[in-house]
Amino acid sequence: MVIDTLKCVGCSDCVVACQTENNVPIGYCRDWITETVDGVYPSLELELKSERCNHCDNAPCVRCCPTGASHIVDGGIVLVTADECIGCGACIESCPYDARYQHPDGYVDKCTFCHHRLEKGQLPACVSVCPTKCMYFGDLDDPNSEVSQLLKNRKHKTLAPEAGTKPHVFYLI
Amino acid sequence: MQEELFTSGRHIPNIDPSLQIWHWPISLYLFLGGLSAGILFFAALFYLMGKDNEYPTAVKVASIIPPIALSLGLLALVYDLTHKLYTWQLYTTFRIESPMSWGAWVLLIVTPLSFLWTFSYYRDVYPKLEEKLQVFNRFKFLNTVEKFVIENRKYMAYALIPLTLVLGVYTGILLSAFNARPLWNNAILGPLFLTSGLSTGAAAIILLSKKAAEKHLFGKIDLGLIIIELALIVHMIMGYYAGPEVQVEAMQLLVGGEFTVMFFGFVVILGLIIPAILESIEIIGYKTPVFLPALLVLIGGLVFRFVMVEAGQLTRYLY
Protein backbone atom coordinates (compact mmCIF):
# COMPACT_ATOMS: atom_id res chain seq x y z
CA MET A 1 0.00 0.00 0.00
CA VAL A 2 1.20 3.49 -0.85
CA ILE A 3 -0.17 6.59 0.87
CA ASP A 4 0.46 10.11 -0.44
CA THR A 5 0.97 12.34 2.62
CA LEU A 6 0.82 15.40 0.33
CA LYS A 7 -2.73 14.54 -0.70
CA CYS A 8 -4.08 13.34 2.66
CA VAL A 9 -6.28 15.94 4.39
CA GLY A 10 -6.81 13.91 7.57
CA CYS A 11 -10.59 13.60 7.15
CA SER A 12 -10.71 10.17 8.85
CA ASP A 13 -13.01 8.79 6.17
CA CYS A 14 -10.71 5.76 5.92
CA VAL A 15 -11.12 5.15 9.64
CA VAL A 16 -14.91 5.22 9.49
CA ALA A 17 -15.02 3.13 6.30
CA CYS A 18 -12.86 0.47 7.96
CA GLN A 19 -14.90 0.43 11.14
CA THR A 20 -18.10 0.01 9.14
CA GLU A 21 -16.77 -2.54 6.66
CA ASN A 22 -15.12 -4.73 9.28
CA ASN A 23 -17.59 -4.34 12.15
CA VAL A 24 -14.80 -2.98 14.35
CA PRO A 25 -16.07 -2.79 17.96
CA ILE A 26 -16.86 0.68 19.25
CA GLY A 27 -13.83 2.40 20.75
CA TYR A 28 -11.39 0.41 18.60
CA CYS A 29 -9.89 1.10 15.19
CA ARG A 30 -7.74 -0.76 12.70
CA ASP A 31 -6.50 2.41 11.02
CA TRP A 32 -6.08 5.93 12.34
CA ILE A 33 -4.91 9.41 11.34
CA THR A 34 -1.78 11.06 12.71
CA GLU A 35 -0.86 14.69 12.39
CA THR A 36 2.70 15.98 12.78
CA VAL A 37 3.74 19.63 12.79
CA ASP A 38 7.45 20.17 12.51
CA GLY A 39 9.84 23.06 11.85
CA VAL A 40 10.78 26.56 12.99
CA TYR A 41 8.04 29.21 12.92
CA PRO A 42 6.97 30.54 10.41
CA SER A 43 8.19 27.75 8.16
CA LEU A 44 6.24 24.91 9.70
CA GLU A 45 5.43 21.70 7.95
CA LEU A 46 2.28 19.71 8.50
CA GLU A 47 2.14 16.02 7.69
CA LEU A 48 -1.11 14.09 7.72
CA LYS A 49 -1.26 10.39 7.18
CA SER A 50 -3.40 7.33 7.62
CA GLU A 51 -1.68 4.54 9.57
CA ARG A 52 -2.45 0.84 10.04
CA CYS A 53 -0.80 -2.57 10.20
CA ASN A 54 2.26 -2.48 7.94
CA HIS A 55 1.95 -6.12 6.85
CA CYS A 56 5.69 -6.45 7.39
CA ASP A 57 7.86 -8.78 5.37
CA ASN A 58 9.81 -9.69 8.51
CA ALA A 59 6.73 -9.68 10.73
CA PRO A 60 7.61 -9.94 14.44
CA CYS A 61 3.99 -10.76 15.29
CA VAL A 62 4.13 -13.87 13.12
CA ARG A 63 7.48 -14.83 14.60
CA CYS A 64 6.30 -14.50 18.22
CA CYS A 65 2.93 -16.19 17.81
CA PRO A 66 3.03 -19.49 19.75
CA THR A 67 0.16 -21.13 17.87
CA GLY A 68 0.60 -19.94 14.30
CA ALA A 69 -2.66 -17.94 14.46
CA SER A 70 -0.76 -14.95 13.05
CA HIS A 71 0.40 -15.90 9.60
CA ILE A 72 1.32 -14.46 6.22
CA VAL A 73 -0.87 -15.39 3.27
CA ASP A 74 0.02 -15.34 -0.43
CA GLY A 75 0.70 -11.80 -1.48
CA GLY A 76 2.29 -10.85 1.83
CA ILE A 77 -0.78 -9.96 3.89
CA VAL A 78 -0.54 -10.71 7.63
CA LEU A 79 -3.73 -12.24 9.01
CA VAL A 80 -4.92 -13.64 12.36
CA THR A 81 -7.04 -16.78 12.57
CA ALA A 82 -9.38 -16.05 15.47
CA ASP A 83 -9.98 -19.75 16.24
CA GLU A 84 -6.26 -20.39 16.70
CA CYS A 85 -5.56 -17.26 18.75
CA ILE A 86 -5.28 -17.79 22.51
CA GLY A 87 -5.10 -14.06 23.31
CA CYS A 88 -1.65 -14.25 24.88
CA GLY A 89 -0.75 -10.77 23.61
CA ALA A 90 2.75 -11.69 22.40
CA CYS A 91 2.02 -10.25 18.95
CA ILE A 92 0.74 -6.99 20.44
CA GLU A 93 3.91 -6.67 22.50
CA SER A 94 6.01 -7.42 19.42
CA CYS A 95 4.47 -4.86 17.04
CA PRO A 96 6.52 -1.66 16.74
CA TYR A 97 3.47 0.06 15.19
CA ASP A 98 1.08 -1.01 17.95
CA ALA A 99 -1.36 -1.84 15.19
CA ARG A 100 -3.00 -4.78 16.98
CA TYR A 101 -5.56 -4.91 19.75
CA GLN A 102 -7.45 -7.47 21.79
CA HIS A 103 -10.98 -7.74 20.43
CA PRO A 104 -13.61 -7.64 23.23
CA ASP A 105 -14.34 -11.29 22.27
CA GLY A 106 -10.79 -12.21 23.29
CA TYR A 107 -8.85 -12.85 20.13
CA VAL A 108 -6.36 -10.43 18.61
CA ASP A 109 -7.53 -8.34 15.70
CA LYS A 110 -6.05 -5.88 13.22
CA CYS A 111 -6.10 -4.56 9.66
CA THR A 112 -6.47 -7.29 7.03
CA PHE A 113 -6.12 -5.00 4.01
CA CYS A 114 -9.80 -6.04 3.67
CA HIS A 115 -8.74 -9.50 2.52
CA HIS A 116 -12.39 -10.48 2.00
CA ARG A 117 -12.80 -7.59 -0.47
CA LEU A 118 -9.55 -8.34 -2.28
CA GLU A 119 -10.77 -11.88 -2.94
CA LYS A 120 -13.71 -10.35 -4.81
CA GLY A 121 -11.39 -8.09 -6.79
CA GLN A 122 -12.32 -5.01 -4.79
CA LEU A 123 -9.99 -2.52 -3.12
CA PRO A 124 -9.64 -2.24 0.67
CA ALA A 125 -12.47 -0.13 2.14
CA CYS A 126 -10.13 2.69 3.22
CA VAL A 127 -8.62 2.97 -0.26
CA SER A 128 -11.94 2.87 -2.08
CA VAL A 129 -13.50 5.57 0.09
CA CYS A 130 -10.65 8.12 0.26
CA PRO A 131 -12.05 11.43 -1.10
CA THR A 132 -8.64 12.77 -2.15
CA LYS A 133 -7.54 9.40 -3.59
CA CYS A 134 -4.35 9.58 -1.55
CA MET A 135 -4.14 5.80 -1.07
CA TYR A 136 -2.99 3.27 -3.62
CA PHE A 137 -3.14 -0.48 -3.33
CA GLY A 138 -1.53 -3.04 -5.58
CA ASP A 139 1.16 -5.63 -6.23
CA LEU A 140 4.64 -4.44 -5.27
CA ASP A 141 6.20 -7.44 -7.04
CA ASP A 142 4.82 -6.25 -10.37
CA PRO A 143 7.17 -3.50 -11.62
CA ASN A 144 4.43 -2.04 -13.83
CA SER A 145 1.78 -1.72 -11.12
CA GLU A 146 0.67 1.75 -10.03
CA VAL A 147 2.22 1.32 -6.58
CA SER A 148 5.58 0.20 -7.99
CA GLN A 149 5.62 3.14 -10.40
CA LEU A 150 4.80 5.60 -7.60
CA LEU A 151 7.60 4.24 -5.46
CA LYS A 152 9.94 4.39 -8.44
CA ASN A 153 9.19 8.02 -9.22
CA ARG A 154 8.40 9.63 -5.87
CA LYS A 155 10.32 10.20 -2.64
CA HIS A 156 8.95 7.94 0.03
CA LYS A 157 9.50 6.61 3.55
CA THR A 158 8.30 3.87 5.85
CA LEU A 159 7.54 4.09 9.57
CA ALA A 160 10.18 2.99 12.09
CA PRO A 161 12.36 1.24 9.46
CA GLU A 162 14.99 0.90 12.21
CA ALA A 163 12.79 -1.73 13.83
CA GLY A 164 13.88 -3.99 10.98
CA THR A 165 10.46 -5.31 10.13
CA LYS A 166 10.47 -4.36 6.41
CA PRO A 167 7.05 -2.72 6.43
CA HIS A 168 4.82 -2.80 3.34
CA VAL A 169 3.00 0.50 3.81
CA PHE A 170 4.90 3.31 2.08
CA TYR A 171 4.36 7.03 2.55
CA LEU A 172 5.03 9.45 -0.32
CA ILE A 173 6.63 12.65 0.98
CA MET B 1 12.35 27.72 18.11
CA GLN B 2 11.90 24.20 16.81
CA GLU B 3 8.23 23.30 17.02
CA GLU B 4 6.98 19.78 17.16
CA LEU B 5 3.39 18.84 17.59
CA PHE B 6 1.99 15.40 17.25
CA THR B 7 -1.59 14.19 17.37
CA SER B 8 -2.81 10.66 16.87
CA GLY B 9 -6.40 9.71 16.25
CA ARG B 10 -5.80 6.29 17.78
CA HIS B 11 -7.05 5.57 21.25
CA ILE B 12 -7.54 1.85 21.63
CA PRO B 13 -8.19 0.31 25.06
CA ASN B 14 -5.02 -1.25 26.60
CA ILE B 15 -2.90 0.01 23.67
CA ASP B 16 -2.92 3.78 24.18
CA PRO B 17 -1.41 5.76 25.81
CA SER B 18 0.81 2.79 26.69
CA LEU B 19 0.48 -0.96 26.43
CA GLN B 20 -1.37 -2.73 29.22
CA ILE B 21 -1.46 -6.16 27.71
CA TRP B 22 0.56 -8.15 30.23
CA HIS B 23 -0.46 -7.67 33.83
CA TRP B 24 0.62 -8.92 37.25
CA PRO B 25 -0.01 -12.63 36.48
CA ILE B 26 2.81 -12.54 33.91
CA SER B 27 5.28 -10.98 36.36
CA LEU B 28 4.22 -13.46 39.04
CA TYR B 29 4.58 -16.36 36.63
CA LEU B 30 8.06 -15.23 35.52
CA PHE B 31 9.07 -15.22 39.18
CA LEU B 32 7.50 -18.60 40.02
CA GLY B 33 8.90 -20.15 36.84
CA GLY B 34 12.41 -18.92 37.64
CA LEU B 35 12.13 -20.03 41.27
CA SER B 36 10.94 -23.52 40.28
CA ALA B 37 13.66 -23.81 37.65
CA GLY B 38 16.25 -22.87 40.28
CA ILE B 39 15.06 -25.34 42.92
CA LEU B 40 14.67 -28.22 40.47
CA PHE B 41 18.07 -27.50 38.95
CA PHE B 42 19.77 -27.75 42.35
CA ALA B 43 17.70 -30.82 43.27
CA ALA B 44 18.72 -32.65 40.10
CA LEU B 45 22.34 -31.51 40.30
CA PHE B 46 22.90 -32.50 43.93
CA TYR B 47 21.08 -35.78 43.38
CA LEU B 48 23.38 -36.67 40.50
CA MET B 49 26.38 -35.70 42.64
CA GLY B 50 25.14 -38.28 45.15
CA LYS B 51 24.63 -35.69 47.86
CA ASP B 52 20.93 -36.31 48.51
CA ASN B 53 21.48 -37.23 52.15
CA GLU B 54 24.09 -34.57 52.73
CA TYR B 55 21.87 -31.77 51.39
CA PRO B 56 18.36 -33.11 51.94
CA THR B 57 16.59 -29.75 51.64
CA ALA B 58 17.98 -29.07 48.19
CA VAL B 59 17.18 -32.53 46.83
CA LYS B 60 14.09 -33.58 48.76
CA VAL B 61 12.41 -30.97 50.95
CA ALA B 62 12.46 -27.84 48.79
CA SER B 63 11.12 -29.81 45.84
CA ILE B 64 7.65 -29.38 47.35
CA ILE B 65 7.75 -25.78 46.03
CA PRO B 66 8.07 -26.32 42.23
CA PRO B 67 4.85 -28.35 41.71
CA ILE B 68 2.85 -25.75 43.65
CA ALA B 69 4.65 -22.76 42.13
CA LEU B 70 4.41 -24.10 38.58
CA SER B 71 0.72 -24.90 38.97
CA LEU B 72 0.04 -21.42 40.33
CA GLY B 73 2.19 -19.93 37.57
CA LEU B 74 0.33 -21.83 34.87
CA LEU B 75 -2.99 -20.74 36.34
CA ALA B 76 -1.74 -17.16 36.32
CA LEU B 77 -0.67 -17.50 32.69
CA VAL B 78 -4.02 -18.87 31.58
CA TYR B 79 -5.78 -16.20 33.65
CA ASP B 80 -4.00 -13.50 31.64
CA LEU B 81 -5.04 -14.98 28.27
CA THR B 82 -8.02 -13.26 26.72
CA HIS B 83 -9.12 -16.19 24.54
CA LYS B 84 -8.85 -18.83 27.26
CA LEU B 85 -11.01 -21.54 25.67
CA TYR B 86 -8.50 -21.84 22.86
CA THR B 87 -5.48 -22.44 25.13
CA TRP B 88 -5.16 -25.99 23.77
CA GLN B 89 -4.10 -24.46 20.45
CA LEU B 90 -0.65 -24.03 22.04
CA TYR B 91 -0.21 -27.78 21.87
CA THR B 92 -1.27 -28.30 18.28
CA THR B 93 2.02 -26.96 16.98
CA PHE B 94 5.59 -26.20 17.92
CA ARG B 95 6.88 -22.91 16.57
CA ILE B 96 10.65 -22.82 16.82
CA GLU B 97 10.82 -19.01 16.40
CA SER B 98 8.36 -18.27 19.19
CA PRO B 99 9.80 -18.25 22.73
CA MET B 100 6.29 -18.65 24.11
CA SER B 101 5.89 -21.88 22.19
CA TRP B 102 9.17 -23.16 23.66
CA GLY B 103 7.96 -22.18 27.12
CA ALA B 104 4.60 -23.85 26.71
CA TRP B 105 6.19 -27.16 25.68
CA VAL B 106 8.94 -27.05 28.32
CA LEU B 107 6.32 -26.38 31.01
CA LEU B 108 4.30 -29.31 29.73
CA ILE B 109 7.28 -31.58 30.47
CA VAL B 110 8.76 -29.90 33.57
CA THR B 111 5.49 -29.57 35.51
CA PRO B 112 4.66 -33.31 35.61
CA LEU B 113 8.34 -34.11 36.25
CA SER B 114 8.28 -31.77 39.26
CA PHE B 115 5.23 -33.62 40.63
CA LEU B 116 6.90 -37.00 40.10
CA TRP B 117 10.13 -35.82 41.74
CA THR B 118 8.28 -34.60 44.83
CA PHE B 119 6.14 -37.73 44.90
CA SER B 120 9.24 -39.95 44.84
CA TYR B 121 10.34 -38.36 48.14
CA TYR B 122 6.89 -38.15 49.72
CA ARG B 123 7.23 -41.14 52.09
CA ASP B 124 10.84 -40.28 52.82
CA VAL B 125 10.20 -36.65 53.81
CA TYR B 126 6.70 -36.85 55.28
CA PRO B 127 6.48 -40.25 57.04
CA LYS B 128 4.15 -38.87 59.71
CA LEU B 129 1.77 -37.40 57.16
CA GLU B 130 1.63 -40.75 55.37
CA GLU B 131 0.93 -42.54 58.67
CA LYS B 132 -2.09 -40.32 59.10
CA LEU B 133 -3.35 -40.34 55.52
CA GLN B 134 -2.46 -43.93 54.63
CA VAL B 135 -2.58 -43.02 50.95
CA PHE B 136 -0.32 -45.88 49.96
CA ASN B 137 -2.45 -48.38 51.81
CA ARG B 138 -5.63 -47.14 50.22
CA PHE B 139 -4.33 -46.94 46.69
CA LYS B 140 -2.05 -49.90 46.15
CA PHE B 141 -0.99 -48.89 42.65
CA LEU B 142 0.89 -45.93 44.16
CA ASN B 143 3.50 -48.41 45.41
CA THR B 144 4.22 -49.45 41.85
CA VAL B 145 4.36 -45.83 40.70
CA GLU B 146 6.67 -44.91 43.55
CA LYS B 147 8.96 -47.83 42.81
CA PHE B 148 9.08 -46.80 39.16
CA VAL B 149 9.90 -43.13 39.84
CA ILE B 150 12.50 -43.94 42.47
CA GLU B 151 14.21 -46.33 40.04
CA ASN B 152 14.16 -43.68 37.35
CA ARG B 153 15.24 -40.70 39.46
CA LYS B 154 18.57 -40.61 37.72
CA TYR B 155 16.95 -40.21 34.30
CA MET B 156 14.56 -37.58 35.64
CA ALA B 157 17.52 -35.65 37.01
CA TYR B 158 19.35 -35.89 33.67
CA ALA B 159 16.27 -34.53 31.93
CA LEU B 160 15.62 -31.84 34.52
CA ILE B 161 19.03 -30.19 34.28
CA PRO B 162 18.72 -29.03 30.63
CA LEU B 163 14.97 -28.49 30.91
CA THR B 164 15.21 -26.23 33.96
CA LEU B 165 17.99 -24.25 32.30
CA VAL B 166 15.77 -23.74 29.25
CA LEU B 167 12.88 -22.77 31.53
CA GLY B 168 15.03 -20.26 33.39
CA VAL B 169 16.46 -18.69 30.24
CA TYR B 170 13.10 -18.66 28.50
CA THR B 171 11.53 -16.42 31.16
CA GLY B 172 14.00 -13.76 30.03
CA ILE B 173 14.03 -14.54 26.30
CA LEU B 174 10.25 -14.26 26.33
CA LEU B 175 10.74 -10.53 26.91
CA SER B 176 13.96 -9.95 25.00
CA ALA B 177 12.52 -11.38 21.78
CA PHE B 178 10.27 -8.34 21.37
CA ASN B 179 12.25 -5.73 19.52
CA ALA B 180 9.21 -3.44 19.61
CA ARG B 181 9.78 -2.91 23.38
CA PRO B 182 13.22 -1.31 23.56
CA LEU B 183 13.58 -1.97 27.31
CA TRP B 184 13.12 -5.69 26.77
CA ASN B 185 15.10 -5.99 23.59
CA ASN B 186 18.36 -6.80 25.32
CA ALA B 187 19.91 -10.21 24.80
CA ILE B 188 21.36 -10.26 28.32
CA LEU B 189 17.83 -10.68 29.74
CA GLY B 190 17.93 -14.46 29.16
CA PRO B 191 21.05 -15.15 31.26
CA LEU B 192 19.99 -12.46 33.76
CA PHE B 193 16.60 -14.07 34.41
CA LEU B 194 18.23 -17.50 34.62
CA THR B 195 20.77 -16.29 37.19
CA SER B 196 18.06 -14.54 39.15
CA GLY B 197 15.93 -17.71 39.05
CA LEU B 198 18.80 -19.88 40.30
CA SER B 199 19.51 -17.31 43.00
CA THR B 200 15.90 -17.28 44.23
CA GLY B 201 15.98 -21.08 44.14
CA ALA B 202 19.09 -21.13 46.35
CA ALA B 203 17.42 -18.59 48.67
CA ALA B 204 14.33 -20.78 49.03
CA ILE B 205 16.56 -23.76 49.91
CA ILE B 206 18.32 -21.65 52.59
CA LEU B 207 14.94 -20.65 54.04
CA LEU B 208 13.74 -24.24 54.31
CA SER B 209 17.00 -25.84 55.39
CA LYS B 210 17.61 -26.91 58.96
CA LYS B 211 21.22 -28.01 58.49
CA ALA B 212 23.91 -25.40 59.12
CA ALA B 213 26.27 -26.94 56.55
CA GLU B 214 23.57 -26.82 53.88
CA LYS B 215 22.66 -23.21 54.68
CA HIS B 216 26.32 -22.33 54.54
CA LEU B 217 26.88 -23.97 51.14
CA PHE B 218 23.80 -22.39 49.57
CA GLY B 219 24.78 -19.04 51.08
CA LYS B 220 28.03 -19.35 49.13
CA ILE B 221 26.24 -20.43 45.94
CA ASP B 222 23.77 -17.58 46.31
CA LEU B 223 26.57 -15.08 46.84
CA GLY B 224 28.24 -16.22 43.63
CA LEU B 225 24.97 -15.95 41.73
CA ILE B 226 24.29 -12.46 43.13
CA ILE B 227 27.71 -11.29 41.96
CA ILE B 228 27.04 -12.69 38.47
CA GLU B 229 23.61 -11.06 38.50
CA LEU B 230 25.04 -7.66 39.44
CA ALA B 231 27.56 -7.97 36.63
CA LEU B 232 24.79 -8.87 34.18
CA ILE B 233 22.75 -5.85 35.31
CA VAL B 234 25.77 -3.64 34.60
CA HIS B 235 25.95 -5.26 31.16
CA MET B 236 22.24 -4.69 30.62
CA ILE B 237 22.55 -0.97 31.40
CA MET B 238 25.67 -0.66 29.28
CA GLY B 239 23.75 -2.28 26.44
CA TYR B 240 21.03 0.35 26.69
CA TYR B 241 23.58 3.17 26.81
CA ALA B 242 25.27 1.90 23.68
CA GLY B 243 21.99 1.19 21.94
CA PRO B 244 19.89 3.24 19.52
CA GLU B 245 17.88 6.26 20.65
CA VAL B 246 14.82 4.25 21.64
CA GLN B 247 16.88 2.13 24.03
CA VAL B 248 18.62 5.13 25.58
CA GLU B 249 15.16 6.59 26.21
CA ALA B 250 13.88 3.29 27.57
CA MET B 251 16.81 3.04 29.97
CA GLN B 252 15.87 6.39 31.48
CA LEU B 253 12.85 4.70 33.05
CA LEU B 254 15.28 2.67 35.15
CA VAL B 255 18.02 5.27 35.51
CA GLY B 256 16.62 8.57 36.74
CA GLY B 257 12.99 7.89 35.87
CA GLU B 258 9.75 6.43 37.08
CA PHE B 259 11.18 3.03 38.04
CA THR B 260 14.52 4.11 39.54
CA VAL B 261 13.48 3.68 43.18
CA MET B 262 11.91 0.31 42.47
CA PHE B 263 14.82 -0.90 40.37
CA PHE B 264 17.86 0.44 42.22
CA GLY B 265 16.24 0.64 45.66
CA PHE B 266 14.36 -2.63 45.85
CA VAL B 267 16.03 -4.84 43.25
CA VAL B 268 19.69 -3.81 43.23
CA ILE B 269 20.28 -2.54 46.79
CA LEU B 270 17.75 -4.43 48.93
CA GLY B 271 17.52 -7.50 46.71
CA LEU B 272 21.16 -7.98 45.73
CA ILE B 273 23.76 -5.79 47.45
CA ILE B 274 22.50 -6.09 51.05
CA PRO B 275 21.98 -9.88 50.82
CA ALA B 276 25.46 -10.16 49.30
CA ILE B 277 26.96 -8.23 52.22
CA LEU B 278 25.03 -10.28 54.79
CA GLU B 279 26.02 -13.56 53.13
CA SER B 280 29.68 -12.47 52.96
CA ILE B 281 29.63 -11.66 56.69
CA GLU B 282 28.17 -15.10 57.33
CA ILE B 283 30.78 -16.82 55.20
CA ILE B 284 33.62 -15.07 57.04
CA GLY B 285 32.28 -16.68 60.17
CA TYR B 286 30.16 -14.12 61.97
CA LYS B 287 26.67 -15.04 63.04
CA THR B 288 23.92 -13.38 61.00
CA PRO B 289 20.23 -14.19 60.63
CA VAL B 290 20.52 -16.40 57.53
CA PHE B 291 16.85 -16.11 56.64
CA LEU B 292 17.15 -12.35 56.07
CA PRO B 293 19.33 -12.32 52.92
CA ALA B 294 17.34 -15.25 51.54
CA LEU B 295 14.06 -13.43 52.07
CA LEU B 296 15.46 -10.24 50.53
CA VAL B 297 16.66 -12.15 47.47
CA LEU B 298 13.19 -13.64 46.97
CA ILE B 299 11.46 -10.26 47.31
CA GLY B 300 14.04 -8.62 45.05
CA GLY B 301 13.49 -11.30 42.40
CA LEU B 302 9.75 -10.74 42.47
CA VAL B 303 10.06 -6.94 42.30
CA PHE B 304 12.58 -7.26 39.45
CA ARG B 305 10.07 -9.11 37.31
CA PHE B 306 7.31 -6.65 38.08
CA VAL B 307 9.58 -3.72 37.18
CA MET B 308 10.69 -5.28 33.89
CA VAL B 309 7.18 -6.26 32.74
CA GLU B 310 5.59 -2.93 33.71
CA ALA B 311 8.39 -0.64 32.54
CA GLY B 312 8.91 -2.53 29.28
CA GLN B 313 5.35 -1.92 28.21
CA LEU B 314 5.85 1.84 28.56
CA THR B 315 8.54 1.78 25.90
CA ARG B 316 7.80 1.84 22.16
CA TYR B 317 9.15 2.93 18.80
CA LEU B 318 6.56 5.45 17.66
CA TYR B 319 4.49 7.96 19.68
Q: State the architecture of B24-312 in CATH terms.
A: Up-down Bundle (1.20)
The reply to whether residue B6 touches residue A37, judged by beta carbons under 8 angstroms, is yes
Q: Does A26 lie at the interface with B, CB-CB under 8 angstroms?
A: no
Q: Does B316 lie at the interface with A, CB-CB under 8 angstroms?
A: yes
Chain A hits for B12, Cβ within 8 Å = 27-29, 101
Specify the number of domains making up chain A: 1
Q: Distance between alpha carbon B119 and the CA centroid of its chain, in Å?
A: 22
- Partnered with residue A136 across adjacent β-strands are A2
A107-124 residue pLDDT tens: 999 999 999 999 999 999
Report, as an integer, the average pLDDT of A24-29. 94
Residue B290, pLDDT score = 85
Residue B293, pLDDT score = 93
Whether A75 has a pLDDT exceeding 80, the answer reads: yes
Q: Is the Cα torsion angle A97, A99, A102, A107 positive or negative in sign?
A: negative
The reply to whether residue A93 touches residue B3, judged by beta carbons under 8 angstroms, is no
Whether B5 has a pLDDT exceeding 90, the answer reads: no
Whether B136 has a pLDDT exceeding 90, the answer reads: no
Task: Please state whether the peptide bond connecting residue B17 to the residue before it is cis, i.e. omega within 30 degrees of 0.
Answer: yes
3-state DSSP of B272-289: HHHHHHHHHHHHHCCCCC
Q: Does B94 lie at the interface with A, CB-CB under 8 angstroms?
A: no
Contact B164, B110 (CB under 8 A): yes
Task: Please state whether the peptide bond connecting residue A124 to the residue before it is cis, i.e. omega within 30 degrees of 0.
Answer: no
B183-214 residue pLDDT tens: 999 999 999 999 999 999 999 999 999 999 99
Higher pLDDT, B36 or B52: B36
CATH number, domain containing residue A84: 3.30.70.20
- Partnered with residue A51 across adjacent β-strands are A32
Domain positions in chain B are: 24-312
Measure the CA–CA gap between B183 and B192, rounded to whole angstroms.
14
DSSP state of B92: G
Work out the angle between the directed axes of helices B141-151 and B99-120 (0-180°, nearest 10).
110
B273-282 residue pLDDT tens: 999 999 999 8
The reply to whether residue A35 touches residue B7, judged by beta carbons under 8 angstroms, is yes
The model's confidence at residue B319, banded by pLDDT at 50, 70 and 90, is: confident
**Structural domain containing residue A83:** 2-172
Residue A87, phi-psi category: left (phi > 0), alpha (psi -120 to 50), beta (remainder): left
B40-94 residue pLDDT tens: 999 999 999 999 899 999 999 999 999 999 999 999 999 999 999 999 999 999 9
Whole-prediction pTM:
0.93
What ipTM describes this predicted complex?
0.89
Whether B3 has a pLDDT exceeding 80, the answer reads: no
